[in-house]
């Protein structure tokens, strides 16, 4: 895989340190609130971020997953986000934190937020590991890193479902896209 990565943007140690500090920011907001917390990761990109984040969160929480297809197959051009599966949990009256790998145009988060708002949660917030410059900054309440507008892979992020297990976050060589 290494040979297919043009440049490493974020090394695994940097990511781990930021995930720890994000967890502290998130805990500061939710610890004083009454009512339960449910994290809603957007599959599949958020799985590694979620797995690391929840183990740094000293809060009682539940997980309810949603799956959204934004880039079908090997395309890197966003289509209309589609919420593909039902939520596997009840959100009524709960504090909901949507967890995603990357905020690009914001269409995915907007689509998921609208879907979850219909479940009458107590609150909805969003946590993204990465944010690209095109994004409406206000869409994410918690942000790991602001990055340049390049297609990145690794740490859960894929190209055609590959590279999710690459431990760093890197820019894929242009000729592979």
| Footprint on this chain of ligand XMP (rule: CB under 6 A) | 42, 45, 70-71, 78, 81, 100-108, 151-153, 157-158
Nearer to ligand XMP, 81 or 144 (CB): 81
Nearer to ligand XMP, 18 or 107 (CB): 107
72 exposed, middle or buried (CB, 10 Å; 0-12, 13-18, 19+)?
exposed
Strand locations in 16-159 (E): 37-43, 61-63, 66-69, 82-83, 95-103, 123-131, 142-146, 152-153
Nearest-approach distance from CB 3 to ligand XMP, in angstroms: 18
Active site (annotated) includes residue 104: yes
Nearest-approach distance from CB 54 to ligand XMP, in angstroms: 18
Query: Active-site residue among 104, 136, 160, 161?
Result: 104
Nearest-approach distance from CB 88 to ligand XMP, in angstroms: 19
- Half-sphere exposure (CA, 13 Å, Cβ side) for 106? 11
Strand locations in 56-122 (E): 61-63, 66-69, 82-83, 95-103
Nearest-approach distance from CB 60 to ligand XMP, in angstroms: 27
Rounded to whole angstroms, how far apart are CA atoms 22 and 20? 5
Locus of tokens 């095109």:
134
Rounded to whole angstroms, how far apart are CA atoms 162 and 164? 6
Nearer to ligand XMP, 21 or 134 (CB): 134
Nearer to ligand XMP, 23 or 152 (CB): 152
Just list the catalytic residues: 104
């Amino acid at each position: 895989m290494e040979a297919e990565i043009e440049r490493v943007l974020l090394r695994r140690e940097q990511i781990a340190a930021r995930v720890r500090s994000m967890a502290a920011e998130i805990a500061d907001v939710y610890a004083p609130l009454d009512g339960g917390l449910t994290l809603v990761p957007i599959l599949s990109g958020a799985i590694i971020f979620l797995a690391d984040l929840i183990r740094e969160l000293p809060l009682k929480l539940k997980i309810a997953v949603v799956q959204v297809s934004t880039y079908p197959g090997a395309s890197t051009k966003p289509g209309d986000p589609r919420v593909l599966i039902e939520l596997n949990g009840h959100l009524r009256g709960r504090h909901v934190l949507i967890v995603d790998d990357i905020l690009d145009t914001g269409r995915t988060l907007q689509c998921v937020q609208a879907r979850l708002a219909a479940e009458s949660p107590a609150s909805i917030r969003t946590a993204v590991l990465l944010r690209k410059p095109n994004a409406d900054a206000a869409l994410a309440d918690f942000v790991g890193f602001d990055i340049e507008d390049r297609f990145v892979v690794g740490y859960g992020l894929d190209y055609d479902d590959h590279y999710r297990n690459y431990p760093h976050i890197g820019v894929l060589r242009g000729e592979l896209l």
